[in-house]
Amino acid sequence: MPDGREPASIRLVERIADVPAASWDACAGGDNPTVSHAFLHALEESGSATAEAGWLPQHLLMEDGAGRLIAAAPLYLKSHSYGEYVFDHGWADAYERAGGRYYPKLQVAVPFTPVPGPRLLVRADAPAGSCETLIAALVEIARRHRVSSLHVTFPLEAEWRKLGEAGLLLREGEQFHWENRGYASFEAFLAALSSRKRKNIRKERAAAVADGIEILTLTGSAIEPRHWDAFFRFYRNTGDRKWGYPYLTRDFFHRLGATMADKVVLIIAEQRGRPIAGALNLLGSDTLYGRNWGCLGEFPFLHFECCYYRAIDFAIARSLRRVEAGAQGPHKIQRGYLPVPTYSAHWIRDKAFAKAVADFLARERRAVAHEREALAEFSPFRKEPDRA
């Protein structure tokens, strides 16, 4: 009973398809497409996020007395720690060496998607205290499942703080985001950089489109099946070379194009008419989210052009507030993407192990904050006016 008057019930479902899309999206809001019903449905129905892949959906639903969905969380029972981008392999190894069983664990996340966004999905008109009730329900479910741990990855900062107030252990990471300071054009953005960085970016952009390379920015109905076929080839090729296992299936991209084309920004590079590389982005209300990159060969600076510079071009043209270019990558700093904190929260059943992890996290948070401050010193933005 979030407000002491209206009874609420909690249940789990093993398929997002069992939740009406309108009800889920009323809780998720419309700002971030990665938590939308359509995106999660595409992951599950395509076979990308399923029990067989180690992601058993256990979505938590909180309904009022009339059966209306008032809060939810994208929840998965995990048999491994892959596809999360907040690394706890060391925790798993330490726990199992001590005789414990780390897997399965519970994960509140969007599979294969290191995009900060809401994880505690609460309707705007839900009763007061619904968020706290949702957190308590997650912990209770972890207890009843008798899992080793519960992890909430890439939540919003306000959610992270509420999770901490509820007793979860708090962790920080970092990503590199580009902020739109009201730039009228890419050249206006360059004008804010130091002369050396500005010249370097111009050289990179020119080199990226040399030798007959043309770059297309596609969204909505302009994205055709042939573009998805090409992009999947890029994705598979890069995934096989870098990680050995591409998580997403071809059907996932087909479903994304069929149900969310207006939220997709697909950058395709062609060399004399032959597709050679691409970058997949998702469009939020004020943010462009970089998701996947793939390429069929080595092309100087093409990755930077497709993933970073074309994203900035698009954000400026659409008056978006920021570009989030995905996980990791200090090399993004010199291209205008500055370090920002990301968050996760963790509940661990074993009290002794929880204390050890808490000690580690306290040291890690200090180290991450120090690193973020140090990296900020490499900002490409000019501190004093200079000549373009």
CATH number at 313 reads 3.40.630.30
Same domain, 168 and 188: no
% pLDDT > 70, the chain: 95
Task: Using pLDDT thresholds of 50, 70 and 90, give the confidence band for residue 384.
Answer: low
Q: How many CB atoms lie within 10 A of CB 92?
A: 19
The pLDDT assigned to 242 comes to 52
- Whether the pLDDT of residue 1 is over 50: the answer is no
Summarize the confidence of residues 118-126 as an average pLDDT.
Answer: 98
Is 54 contained in some domain? yes
Residue 385 has pLDDT above 80, yes or no: no
* Average pLDDT of the residues of the chain: 94
Instruction: List pLDDT tens digits, range 141-183.
Output: 999 999 999 999 999 999 999 999 999 999 999 999 999 999 9
Radius of gyration of the chain (CA): 22
Same domain for 142 and 197?
A: no
Q: Is residue 1 one of the residues assigned to a domain?
A: no
Q: Enter the tokens of residue 73.
A: 């969380």
Count up the domains in the chain and report the number. Answer: 2
Considering the domain architecture, whether residues 157 and 206 belong to the same structural domain is answered as no
Extract the tokens encoding 249: 């299936």
Neighbour count for residue 65 (Cβ, 10 Å): 11
* Same domain, residue pair 298 and 199: yes
Write out pLDDT tens, residues 73-86.
Answer: 999 999 999 999 99
Quick one: 205 and 141 in the same domain? no
- Write the DSSP string, 277-346: EEEEEEE-SSEEEEEEEEESS--TTHHHIIIIIHHHHHHHHTT-SEEEEEE--GGGGGGT-EEEEEEEEE
Q: Does 287 lie in the same domain as 159?
A: no
The reply to whether 167 and 185 lie within a common domain is no
Across the chain, how many H-helices and E-strands are there?
12, 15
Residue 7 has pLDDT above 80, yes or no: no
Give the closest residue to 151 by CA, choosing from 87, 72, 247, 70.
87
* Domain with 101 in it: 8-174+340-375
Please state, in angstroms and rounded to a whole number, the distance separating the CA atoms of residues 201 and 61. Answer: 47
* pLDDT in the model for residue 377: 84
The encoded tokens of residue 302 equal: 């093409």
Segments in 33-175 forming alpha helices (H): 37-45, 89-97, 130-145, 157-165
Examine residue 204 and state whether it is found in any structural domain, yes or no.
yes
pTM: 0.94
Apex 72 CA angle, 135 and 62, nearest 5: 80
Please check whether residue 387 lies inside any domain of the structure: no
